[in-house]
């Protein structure tokens, strides 16, 4: 028996096993939209009326079970004042959100209450609402697929699980494991999820049918027992350890909640990211009373999702999708062989990342020692990331040291990652143009040198594109794809396609000094150094920035990037922009104080961590300091938009968020400027310029924004 719906296919076999297959049309990703959930509830209502031995829920998408709720629908819940919502629940946005969440809860409850065993067959991403659906099933089986990720990452959108996930994850895993999953928002591989207890089995794809036949027979072979009896027996193996119940005693819960809150407070501030604190509060007040906790869970998510913080984080999610789309728009043939010139820290990190993503990579460097260190780093990285021996060995085989530079002749893409010296870079590409394949693309990882200065020695400058990575390569999601007026559209598209192939977000920028990220970030960092030169303690400057919402203070960031790199970028920008290189920065670089890599910078370091001393400072307030820092950044952002360094405001916001870590909960610098009021921001800059000089003079782009 088969019945087709818009999003679901319902099948029933000769053993009375019902299989529900989700295949949302016109998309490669399954999400739980309101229509998908409504349709599923209708199916479940019908299923309850017929005779069945088991229910299987699966996906027909490649590498995608269910990626969560439909985030596009979240934007429909209008912004509201979060504090007002606490007392005024008739708000339209809140009411819409609550209704949508309650529908999801009702569907999950219907799955959980079916009178026969239910199975989630997971292949590919099982996240958010998809994970909550799997938790509502009695048994979770994952196909052996290295691309599968599981988790409850809602906190990254400023909310928390709302379809019963806070209740069921705690019921299954206990408070500490479930809280670790929800508070971090991180996703897990199938093997980690199996060890945690989130899934029950991992099986090979070619034995699915046989495996389910055995499972159903195991649970329902005794016809004398009722399905409900069998279900009780089935659920015994999911019963958590008895001592988990002790954690929910009223006199113990406050202590556990305090430990959890203290841990979260080290990473985020409650005023910026309230969702993790709401999860802890929900557990502390209501754990042990599942029905009431579920009710409060829905109300909590409805309040959070209509707040500015969550709506801005949802905006960031959409910005991320915009950049991902750029990497998929190319029709070019896929790249296979990457050749990297320069095996140092940056070149080596790029090589390792490319190999990890499946490329064959040759790395040229003149030094045998440099290449030997690269192979050691590759061994360390792959042995930690790739637990299966054959995957580790395959990766090491694809990381090829190339002292003679033979890879130039075979590569589809050549990436230069040497020192920031124009002549040295020109030499690399002059040689490449002689030896490389005619259709090979040339890319430079320069952080600030305009492409025209590098490419004017080439016969075919249209082959050169910038692919600017950020440090550390494995953790930073953004790459700037830099085009000059001579860069061909083919080269530009290849670069964006390549970025997508290695899991990065490509940001198209024009070839101006510093491009976007470094140009906007540098005045912010230089103002921090100026404040430090005025006698303000480094830790106080960093605290002002983190109070604003930045994930890391500018002083610590400068040390992390490297003061030599900061100096190089500042010098390049000073040739074309009104940027003054601080004497303190030059002096410390001359002394060899380069930041974390030398264990001495603005801070002294021990084991890679800054040594903080007690602060005794009376002078500028934290607000005054953050204004000086942030308005340098805002002013430069407006200049970049006005000069068309990026195509639009969305791209600028995405670039600064994913390239600098700019407070995601504020939605990006341009979004923040409009939220605060363009004229008010412009007037603040004028006041700052009166107090601190011309570096705060509003750029001409403010007029364009005001009169737009």
Q: What is the CATH number of the domain that holds 576?
A: 1.10.1040.50
Of the residues 88, 112, 132, 527, only one is catalytic, namely 132
Q: Is residue 507 part of a domain?
A: no
pTM for the whole structure: 0.89
Residues 461, 523: one domain? no
Integer angstrom CA distances of residue 380 from 375, 386, 395: 9, 10, 12
Residues 299, 380: one domain? no
List helix spans (H) across 306-360. Answer: 308-328, 345-356
Residues 605, 545: one domain? yes
Residues 587, 685: one domain? yes
Q: What is the 3-state secondary structure (H, E, C) of 202-216?
A: EECHHHHHHHHHHHH
- Token readout for 266 is 């080290």
Give the domain range for residue 583.
518-644+677-706
- Token readout for 642 is 């006005």
Q: What is the 3-state secondary structure (H, E, C) of 236-257?
A: HHHCCCHHHHHHHCCCCHHHHH
List helix spans (H) across 137-246. Answer: 165-173, 175-184, 190-196, 208-220, 227-235
- Provide the number of structural domains found in the chain: 3
Residues 85, 198: one domain? yes
Active site annotation includes 154 = yes
Ramachandran region of residue 418, left (φ > 0), alpha (ψ -120 to 50) or beta? beta
Residues 393, 540: one domain? no
Identify the pLDDT of residue 672.
97
Q: CA nearest 172: which of 228, 212, 132, 113? A: 132
Residue 265 belongs to a domain with what CATH number? 3.90.226.10
Produce one character per residue of 387-425: b if its CB has 16 or more CB atoms within 10 Å, e if not: eeeeebeebbebbbbbeebebbebbbbbbbbbebeeeeb
Residues 151, 49: one domain? yes
Give the chain's residues under pLDDT 50: 80-90, 222-228, 230-234, 236
Residues 527, 553: contact at Cβ < 8 Å?
no
Identify the pLDDT of residue 214.
73
139-143 sheet: strands from edge to edge: 2-4, 8-12, 17-22, 54-59, 118-122, 139-143, 201-203
Residues 353, 296: one domain? no
Q: Is residue 505 part of a domain?
A: no
How many angstroms separate the CA atoms of 622 and 644, rounded? 33
Identify the pLDDT of residue 1.
72
Last residue of a domain, one of 280, 306, 332: 306
Residue 485 belongs to a domain with what CATH number? 3.40.50.720
How many angstroms separate the CA atoms of 16 and 54, rounded? 7
- Mind giving me the DSSP string for 3-15? EE-SSEEEEE-TT
Query: Please, which residues have CB within 8 angstroms of residue 45's CB and are 6 or more apart in sequence?
Result: 110
Q: Is residue 512 part of a domain?
A: no
How many angstroms separate the CA atoms of 465 and 492, rounded? 6
Q: Is residue 501 part of a domain?
A: no
CA atoms within 13 A on the CB side of 425: 26
Q: Is residue 188 part of a domain?
A: yes
How many angstroms separate the CA atoms of 608 and 378, rounded? 21
Residues 494, 332: contact at Cβ < 8 Å?
yes
Residues 539, 588: one domain? yes
Of the residues 154, 299, 480, 530, only one is catalytic, namely 154
List helix spans (H) across 329-459. Answer: 345-356, 368-385, 389-398, 422-435, 451-455
How many angstroms separate the CA atoms of 248 and 669, rounded? 43
Produce one character per residue of 76-89: b if its CB has 16 or more CB atoms within 10 Å, e if not: ebeebebeebeeee
150-151 sheet: strands from edge to edge: 64-66, 125-127, 150-151
Q: Is residue 336 part of a domain?
A: no
Last residue of a domain, one of 279, 306, 333: 306
Q: What angle do CA 128, 132, 136 make, to 5 degrees?
A: 170
Q: What is the largest CA-CA distance in the chain?
A: 88
Residues 528, 541: contact at Cβ < 8 Å?
yes
Residues 126, 66: contact at Cβ < 8 Å?
yes
Q: CA nearest 445: which of 409, 479, 494? A: 479
Residues 230, 101: one domain? yes
Residues 420, 274: one domain? no
Q: Is residue 189 part of a domain?
A: yes
* CA dihedral over 244, 249, 250, 253, signed as positive or negative: negative
Rg, the chain, Cα only: 28
Residues 471, 387: one domain? yes
Q: CA nearest 170: which of 54, 279, 67, 306? A: 279
Active site annotation includes 132 = yes
Q: Is residue 338 part of a domain?
A: no
Q: What is the 3-state secondary structure (H, E, C) of 644-657?
A: CCCCCHHHHHHHHH
């Amino acid at each position: 028996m088969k019945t087709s719906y818009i999003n679901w296919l319902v099948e029933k076999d000769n053993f009375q096993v019902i299989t529900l297959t989700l295949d949302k049309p016109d998309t490669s990703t399954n999400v739980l939209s309101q229509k998908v959930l409504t349709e599923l509830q209708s199916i479940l209502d019908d299923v309850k009326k017929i005779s069945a031995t088991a229910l299987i829920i699966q996906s027909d998408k490649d590498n995608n079970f269910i990626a969560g709720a439909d985030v596009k629908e979240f934007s429909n819940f209008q912004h509201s004042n979060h504090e007002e919502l606490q007392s005024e629940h008739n708000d339209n946005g809140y009411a819409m959100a609550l209704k949508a969440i309650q529908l999801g809860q009702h569907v999950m409850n219907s799955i959980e209450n079916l009178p026969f065993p239910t199975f989630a067959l997971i292949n590919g991403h099982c996240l958010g609402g998809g994970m909550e659906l799997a938790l509502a099933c009695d048994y979770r089986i994952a196909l052996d697929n290295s691309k599968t990720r599981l988790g409850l990452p809602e906190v990254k959108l400023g909310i928390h699980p709302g379809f019963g996930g806070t209740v069921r994850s705690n019921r299954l895993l206990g408070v500490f494991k479930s809280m670790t999953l929800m508070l971090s928002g991180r996703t897990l591989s199938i093997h980690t999820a199996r060890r945690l207890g989130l899934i029950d089995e991992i099986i090979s794809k070619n034995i699915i049918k046989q495996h389910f036949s055995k499972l159903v027979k195991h649970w329902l072979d005794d016809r004398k027992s009722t399905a409900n009896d069998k279900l009780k027996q089935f659920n015994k193996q999911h019963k958590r350890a008895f001592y988990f119940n002790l954690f929910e005693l009223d006199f113990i819960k406050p202590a556990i909640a305090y430990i959890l809150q203290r841990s979260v407070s080290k990473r985020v501030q409650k005023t910026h990211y309230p969702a993790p604190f709401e999860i802890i509060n929900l557990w502390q007040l209501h754990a042990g009373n599942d029905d009431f906790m579920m009710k409060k869970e829905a109300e909590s998510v409805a309040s959070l999702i209509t707040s500015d913080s969550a709506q801005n984080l949802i905006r960031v999610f959409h910005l991320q999708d915009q950049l991902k789309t750029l990497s998929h728009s190319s029709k070019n043939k896929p790249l296979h062989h990457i050749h990297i010139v320069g095996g140092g820290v940056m070149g080596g990190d790029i090589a390792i990342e490319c190999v990890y993503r499946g490329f064959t990579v040759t790395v040229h460097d003149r030094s045998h020692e440099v290449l030997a260190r690269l192979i050691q780093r590759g061994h360390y990285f792959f042995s930690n990331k790739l637990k299966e021996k054959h995957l580790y060995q395959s990766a090491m085989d694809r990381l090829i040291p190339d002292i003679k530079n033979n890879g130039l002749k075979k590569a589809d893409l050549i990436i230069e990652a040497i020192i920031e010296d124009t002549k040295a870079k020109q030499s690399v590409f002059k040689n490449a143009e002689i030896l490389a394949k005619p259709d090979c693309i040339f890319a430079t990882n320069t952080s600030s040198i305009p492409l025209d200065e590098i490419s004017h020695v080439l016969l075919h400058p249209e082959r050169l594109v910038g692919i600017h990575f950020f440090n550390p390569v494995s953790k930073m999601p953004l790459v700037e794809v830099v085009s000059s007026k001579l860069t061909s559209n083919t080269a530009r598209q290849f670069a964006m396609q390549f970025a997508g192939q290695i899991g990065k977000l490509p940001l198209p920028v024009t070839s101006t000094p510093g491009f976007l990220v470094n140009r906007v970030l540098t005045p912010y960092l230089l103002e921090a150094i100026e404040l430090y030169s005025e006698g303000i303690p480094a830790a106080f400057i960093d605290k002002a920035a983190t109070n604003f919402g930045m994930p890391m203070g500018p002083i610590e960031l400068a040390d992390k990037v490297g003061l030599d790199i900061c100096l190089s970028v500042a010098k390049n920008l000073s040739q074309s922009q009104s940027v003054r290189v601080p004497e303190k920065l030059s002096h410390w670089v001359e002394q060899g104080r380069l930041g974390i890599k030398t264990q001495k910078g603005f801070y002294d370091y021990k084991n890679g961590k800054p040594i903080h001393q007690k602060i005794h400072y009376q002078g500028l307030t934290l607000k005054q300091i953050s204004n000086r820092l942030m308005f340098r950044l805002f002013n430069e952002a407006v200049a970049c938009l006005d000069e068309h360094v990026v195509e639009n405001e969305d791209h600028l916001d995405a670039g600064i968020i994913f390239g600098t870590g700019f407070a995601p909960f504020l939605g990006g610098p341009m979004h923040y400027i409009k939220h605060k009021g363009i004229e008010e921001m412009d007037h603040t800059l004028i006041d700052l310029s009166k107090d601190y000089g011309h570096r705060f003079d509003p750029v001409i782009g403010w007029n364009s924004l005001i009169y737009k």
